């Protein structure tokens, strides 16, 4: 079945970087964009960006430009999200989510249909 398995929890110090992985299975990895979304404790969802696993092309939310890097390794069907210069307010659960597209009468419908279980990143001195 289609699933996304994320790496384990991380504890980092302010100023450090974290790299979270998301391994895809059950579908053709290069056929679907991968998004990253985070959720701070008790807060809502925050979209971070996406990567096209086929080309490696990326699109980052403006808030994270310059601090986030999304990459992929197609040989192992894994996407990565690296966030640098960590601050305490980066403490959150980070999710990867597969994008799917439905085409109906020349209209394109985009959504995130499969989600990983999340990776908790704690930033603390």
- Contacts with other proteins by CB under 8 A lie at 35, 37, 44-47, 50, 59, 61-62, 95, 97, 102, 104, 107-113, 115-118
Q: Which is nearer to other proteins, 13 or 103 (CB)?
A: 103
**Shortest Cβ 36–other proteins spacing (Å):** 12
14 versus 99: smaller Cβ distance to other proteins:
99
Smallest distance, other proteins to C-beta of residue 71, A: 19
Where is 59: in which H helix or E strand? strand 58-60
Helix (H, G, I), strand (E, B) or coil at 75: helix
d(CA 104, CA 116): 27
């Amino acid at each position: 079945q289609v699933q996304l398995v994320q790496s384990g929890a991380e504890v980092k110090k302010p100023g450090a970087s974290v790299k979270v992985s998301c391994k895809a299975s059950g579908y053709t990895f290069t056929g679907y964009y991968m998004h990253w979304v985070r959720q701070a404790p008790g807060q809502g969802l925050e979209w971070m960006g996406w990567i096209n696993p086929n080309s490696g092309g990326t699109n980052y939310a403006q808030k994270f430009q310059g601090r986030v890097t999304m990459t992929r390794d197609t040989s192992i069907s894994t996407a990565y999200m690296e966030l640098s210069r960590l601050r305490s307010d980066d403490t959150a659960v980070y999710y990867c989510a597969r994008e799917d597209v439905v085409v109906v009468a020349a209209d394109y419908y985009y959504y995130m249909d499969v989600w990983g279980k999340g990776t908790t990143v704690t930033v603390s001195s």
